[in-house]
Structure 1
Amino acid sequence: MVLLAGFNLIQFSRRYKLLRRQQQDQQTMQLLRETIREKTQFQEALIREKERLNFVLEGTNAATWEWNIQTGQLTYNETWASLIGYTLEEIQPIDQNTLARFAHPDDLEEANNRVSNCLRDQSLFYEATYRMKHKDGHWVWILDRGKVVSATETGAPLKMFGTHVDISPLKESNEELTRFASVASHDMKEPLRMISSFMRLLQKNYEQLLDAKARQYIHYAMDGAERMTALIQELLAYAHAGGMQHNKREWINCADLLNQIAVLNKAQLDDQGAVLKIGELPMVYANKTPLKLLFQNLISNALKYQLPEVQPILEITATEDNFYWQFSVSDNGIGIPPEHREEVFHLFKRLPTQHEYSGSGMGLATCKRIVEQHGGKIWIDDNGSTGTILTFTIRKTA
């Protein structure tokens, strides 16, 4: 009986181990099935994402490039070559000199400088516009954007990804707008100059023969001609702002630029007894002419829309984050109600409270255009109980 009992115990132990092994095998198989299912779902998600990205690239006709900075290896997609009329096979070999073979020599140095800046500050985006020679001989305007996406263990930039987009139609459209504005402004200014000149002659030679009402009519005519001339100038500035995106950028000391603008506005500042405070401002990589116009417009606006019997106080400051410089221009003027803060950036838009002040409603629209062409945004906040804080950002594009 003892032997039988021992035998049964052994049998039970064996069956228990077998059942436990089977249970463990089932758990293992279940774990494997879950792992395989998760991996399959992940792969399917990757495929869908790749398809979605391909659809986006095809829909926007965007070319892609990938650069291994350490090895120098460059990879372009087929669209990259097709933008300039080639196939990938036709532009072989692809290396670091490929771009130089097709880029306009006048634009290449600026593009290379921006790449160098991006490699130095890896948190920044790279952006450049330049011409590339098409297979049939004409030049294609390219918007090139990229970013460092990985680094080596020592922190050196490793890989950079980017896109190419043909912006030739946009470039041509902006140039046509600028040409039209220049011609139109010249053609419209000439009759206005004649009106002003003859009105001044009439006023000078015949004022004593005219009654008060006639003299007032002359004043109205001259004032209207002057306002129309100012409007044409602002239209021209707005049109030029659209064509400035391709100008060469440079490092600009914003403090020096604001001091220059303060000198230009000294008479107006003194007449109004205004105080202009300029904080610590950065160096920015931007187009100097439109940036100067941007600050000039914002300061002029702040000085124009002031409360009576109140000393105007303007303050310009700047802060930064990883990708943007943020500038603020604050004033203690009449302010802008929250419900109107979007529409003041529309062309020719003036608020009811602003009609007693001179202006065309184009200044802030021009500012918005300039800011957007520097990769930024512009908006308005309250400045305490009175006044506004007008804030804009400029992307730290290399």
Structure 2
Amino acid sequence: MTEQNDEKADLFFAGPVLIIAWGPEKGWPIKYVSKNVQDILGYTSEEMVAPNFSYEDLIHPEDLQRIEGESSEKLKSKKDTYELFYRIKTKRGNYRWFYDYSKVDRDSSGKLKQIRGYLVDQTPLIETRNYLKLEKQRLSDTLEAGNIGTWEWNIQTGEVLYFENLTKISGFQLEDLLPLSLENWKKFVHPEDLPQVEAEIQRVVNKEQKNYALEIRRKHKEGHWVWIEEKGKVIRWTEKGDPLLMRGVYIDITKRKNIEKELRQAKKEAETANQAKSTFLANMSHEIRTPMNGIIGFLELLSDTEMSQQQRSYLENVQNASKNLMNILNDILDLSKIESNKMALESIPFDIRKTMEFAIGMFYQQAKMKGLELHMNLDQSLPQFVKGDPTRLHQVLANLISNGIKFTEQGEVVLRAKGEVDNEGDTIIVIIDVQDTGIGIKETDFDKLYQTFSQIDQSHTRLYGGTGLGLKITKTLVELMDGEIEVKSDYDKGSIFTVRLPFDSARNPLEKTVKKNKRDKKEGREEIFEKPKVLVAEDQELNQEIMMELLEKKGVHCDVADNGAEAVDRLKDEPYDLILMDCQMPVMDGYEATKRIREMELDQPEIVAMSAYAMKEDEEKCRAAGMDGYLSKPIDLKRLENLIERIQNQKENSLQARKMESDSDKITSEKSKAVDNKRRKTNKSHGHKNRNEKRKGIIGYLKKWLE
């Protein structure tokens, strides 16, 4: 029996329960301690029962006064047992939390003999509890800082519980929302949002989705609506697999919604202002380009007449001034397109070497007049054909070369270009250098290079002229083409602008045409030359005169219509290959006239817009009306020549096809041609006589003015 008791005692003392008995005397001297004390506190039992060792010395100073008070109260109540929590110091000097179940021992007279404490180490439990308490506080602080509340919804019973920040967000106290049910909760949802809420809830109930997320408006106690973002997730299911419990958060997003509203309004106002600016620029472009079309056109015609050397010098000055004015106007329009994100890029095969030759060729005369050398060096690595936007590349080159000449007083300007093939071989990186020996740029001024309406030194504006737009537009165009531009410069020695542009590799776009022409000649096909029939729809007499003169210089006869309605009527009586259609005309504008012509049952002519408007949307509007192309005023003679040549080629191909069908078709075609010529001569004699006289008068007046 003794053996069994000893085994039980050993088993007990090997466990987590520590037994300490102490007397009621001062300091609470320890009278007994269980054998496992060393495992738990680190002290030996001999150390703890020594005369100089007291139990009070082990209790944490912050807990001691509380423990003394609580113990005293318990003892006065004559209770035999009581429970306490406090910290005890270990031999290593740290403190651990203990649960103390104390039992009071008294003698036969009821006098207190000793107190036996059964202590269990609660440190892990207390630390976990404190950690959870701290984390809860952190979560609460975070939710409050973020204006976030939490909720719980029993899907089966419909009961809804709110936890954090309910009052702060909605203004309501919990009792204001009783009964806490889904149906009552819906009463506080904005009527416009309720169908969306019910649909989302139904999807959760039907097990179509586990998560719930909505942005809705909820009523505040003060009467206004608060924007709430609600998110939830099903966290528990019934035994049948139906959703049982959902928990989530509700976030006050009113400020965000107000900011979004303000941003939308600001965006709308900015777009309206931008549109107003674009409309203003388009109108100004129209108002300036319309007279400039007449000025530049007649100057071009005047240059082909006989005049004295002094008159020709005057004429060249006027032509240069006109071109400078058009360059400034084009720069402003380009800047507007860039700022409005309306600058569109082409992607077509083109001869990049010819583009560079043409760009530098424009400036040979200007460089010569300043006594400068202008050179071009195209490396063998530069391919002949690439795919990209030749117009914008030409603009970049022209701006850089023009800048180099403008700021160079002696020496040279050099254009260099080479090509690098990427690893896959589909992309060509074209590296362009434009180097000058001009005034150079200080390194501290590099950041000012690409600013709008800005030049590094304002004295340069007076000395060299310009708007300060060229490099800004150049940089933007390079970036639009996914390229890079950088500058290196020595002040008073010169600058090098380097541009890197990616292009797709391309074949000669004329290759098929060349092969076809060779095949046609080999097969013995005849070449039939007949100029296209052109109708000019234009209400301005000055522009009518110019277009007639320009076309007749190319051997093309044309008829004139004063408005869109007249153009439609003319087409009913006579076929035309090409109509040059002004967009803004009285009676009927070019857009409406084009739509009506496209509805007519006849051989449809090619219709090309002539417009003094120069924005991208104007070109898109023309194409939407049914026009095939777009010429911006003042009319570019080269583009007009290319257009006539293309129409003529189409006409020749059509005639060749008809010729091969039958000889009878040829006879019919010749008769039709004879009738057309007769009508044109009749129209010419009646309709053009006065115009020819006016044209001679205008040219004569210009020559007299130049004297």
Q: TM-score, normalised by structure 1?
A: 0.52
Deviations 1:80-130 (A, max 9, x none): 244222211122111111221111111011122223334556875321111
Which of residues 135, 150, 171 is equivalent to 1:64?
Answer: 150
Q: Any idea what SS the aligned residue of 1:97 has?
A: helix
> Aligned partners of 2:223 and 2:172: how far apart in 1?
12
Residues 113 and 59 of structure 1: CA distance in aligned 2, closer, same or farther (over 3 Å): same
Q: TM-score, normalised by structure 2?
A: 0.31
> Aligned partners of 1:95 and 1:217: how far apart in 2?
71
2:278 is the alignment partner of 1:192: yes
**Identity level (%):** 24
> Aligned partners of 1:86 and 1:105: how far apart in 2?
19
Report what 1:220 is aligned to.
331
Residues 105 and 220 of structure 1: CA distance in aligned 2, closer, same or farther (over 3 Å): same
Residues 230 and 155 of structure 1: CA distance in aligned 2, closer, same or farther (over 3 Å): same
How far 1:177 moved relative to its partner?
1.5
2:343 is the alignment partner of 1:356: no
Letter in 1 for 2:13: Q
> Aligned partners of 2:195 and 2:209: how far apart in 1?
22
Which has the larger displacement, 128-137 or 29-38? Answer: 29-38
Which residues of 2 match residues 1-398 of structure 1 at below 5 A? 14-29=1-16, 36-77=122-163, 79-120=165-206, 124-210=210-296, 211=319, 212-230=323-341, 356-358=478-480
Ranges of 4+ aligned residues in structure 1 off by more than 4 Å: 30-37, 118-124, 352-355
How far 1:24 moved relative to its partner?
0.8
Contact 1:78 1:88 in 2 (8 A): no
Q: 5+ residue gaps in structure 1? A: 1-13, 234-267, 274-307, 311-331, 335-351, 361-398
> Aligned partners of 1:149 and 1:220: how far apart in 2?
63
Contact 2:160 2:182 in 1 (8 A): yes
Q: Any idea what SS the aligned residue of 1:52 has?
A: helix
Q: Any idea what SS the aligned residue of 2:244 has?
A: strand
Contact 2:190 2:218 in 1 (8 A): yes
Say what the alpha-carbon RMSD is for the aligned residues.
Answer: 3.9
Residues 69 and 190 of structure 1: CA distance in aligned 2, closer, same or farther (over 3 Å): same
> Aligned partners of 1:130 and 1:64: how far apart in 2?
16
How far 1:70 moved relative to its partner?
2.0
Letter in 2 for 1:46: L
Residues 359 and 194 of structure 1: CA distance in aligned 2, closer, same or farther (over 3 Å): farther
Report what 1:8 is aligned to.
none
Deviations 1:287-311 (A, max 9, x none): xxxxxxxxxxxxxxxxxxxxx659x
Letter in 2 for 1:226: K
Contact 1:145 1:163 in 2 (8 A): yes
Structure with the larger RCO, 1 or 2 (CA within 8 Å, 6+ apart):
1
How far 1:354 moved relative to its partner?
8.4
Q: 5+ residue gaps in structure 2? A: 19-98, 100-118, 297-318, 350-385, 389-425, 429-473, 483-707
> Aligned partners of 1:34 and 1:124: how far apart in 2?
45
The number of aligned residues is 242
Deviations 1:246-271 (A, max 9, x none): xxxxxxxxxxxxxxxxxxxxxx99x7
Residues 223 and 200 of structure 1: CA distance in aligned 2, closer, same or farther (over 3 Å): farther
Which structure dedicates a bigger proportion of its chain to helix?
Answer: 1
Residues 171 and 160 of structure 1: CA distance in aligned 2, closer, same or farther (over 3 Å): same
Larger Rg: 2
How far 1:202 moved relative to its partner?
1.9
Which has the larger displacement, 124-133 or 40-49? Answer: 40-49
> Aligned partners of 1:15 and 1:357: how far apart in 2?
98
Letter in 1 for 2:331: Y
> Aligned partners of 1:51 and 1:87: how far apart in 2?
21
Contact 1:199 1:218 in 2 (8 A): yes
Contact 1:68 1:160 in 2 (8 A): yes
Deviations 1:152-201 (A, max 9, x none): 23322121111112211111111112112212321332133112222133
> Aligned partners of 1:40 and 1:57: how far apart in 2?
25
Contact 1:77 1:88 in 2 (8 A): no
Letter in 1 for 2:326: R
Contact 1:118 1:147 in 2 (8 A): no
How far 1:28 moved relative to its partner?
3.3
Deviations 1:315-338 (A, max 9, x none): xxxxxxxxxxxxxxxxx999xxxx
Contact 1:81 1:91 in 2 (8 A): no
> Aligned partners of 1:171 and 1:137: how far apart in 2?
18
Residues 91 and 195 of structure 1: CA distance in aligned 2, closer, same or farther (over 3 Å): same
Residues 191 and 359 of structure 1: CA distance in aligned 2, closer, same or farther (over 3 Å): farther
> Aligned partners of 2:128 and 2:11: how far apart in 1?
26
> Aligned partners of 1:136 and 1:333: how far apart in 2?
65
Q: Any idea what SS the aligned residue of 1:230 has?
A: coil
